[in-house]
Amino acid sequence: MAKRTMTMAVRISGVRETLAAFRKLPKDASTALREASGEIATFMVRKVKAASSIDRQSAAVGTTVRVARDRVPSVQAGGAKRVTSTRVPAWRLLIGSEFGANGRFGWYGAGKYEASEGRQFAPHTGRTGRWFFPTIEREQTEIARRWQGAADDIVTRFGRD
């Protein structure tokens, strides 16, 4: 079965080298890095959930946004959680709420949701996204700064031992 969530890990310069350095440290250092990344990802989750309030479908999918536990800050949305009044799984709304749709598509094609337009989702936005990706990309610099600071602190703390 296909993965029914969308995950975004932040792009941080020098992350490969940093993670390689962590392999030489005790396992507790990686655990500490995961915890620090989780705190940063929690910051991202709050921002993404706030941004998801642009419309009802996005807000419904926004309730599924959560931290993906990793050494690099990652956020996940979607999944099998049933959202909206029709109890639709979040993964069915995820792509349409983020990128919109051209006309009618899939099982939403009947036009019963917004009869005036014959579509359920907002118009297609191309590759830009509407709430998930733009929010994380907007915070990219702050996230990278926090992660690099946390990684430096952990390397300093465990490098002494």
3-state helix/strand/coil string of the chain? CCCCEEEEECCCCCHHHHHHHHHCCCHHHHHHHHHHHHHHHHHHHHHHHHHHHHCHHHHHHHCCCEECCCCCCEEEEECCCEECCCCEEHHHHHHHHHHCECCCCHHHCCCCCCCCCCCCCCECCCCCCCCHHHHHHHCHHHHHHHHHHHHHHHHHHHHCC
Report the pLDDT averaged over residues 152-158. Answer: 92
Sign of CA dihedral 102, 107, 113, 118: positive
Report the pLDDT averaged over residues 80-85. Answer: 90
Please give the pLDDT value at position 90: 92
Please give the pLDDT value at position 113: 45
Please give the pLDDT value at position 105: 56
Q: What is the pLDDT of residues 24-81, one digit of tens each?
A: 999 999 999 999 999 999 999 999 999 999 988 899 999 999 999 999 999 999 999 9
Give the predicted TM-score (pTM) of the model: 0.82
Neighbours of 107 (CB within 10 A): 8
Neighbours of 21 (CB within 10 A): 14
Cα–Cα dist 73/25, whole Å:
20
Higher pLDDT, 1 or 3: 3
Cα–Cα dist 12/92, whole Å:
30
CB neighbour burial string for 33-57, b if at least 16 within 10 angstroms, e if fewer? beebbbebbebbbebbbebbeeeeb
Q: What is the pLDDT of residues 88-145, one digit of tens each?
A: 899 988 988 898 877 655 554 444 444 445 456 777 777 888 999 999 999 999 999 9
Closest CA to 33 of 159, 161, 155: 155
pLDDT at 161 over 80: no
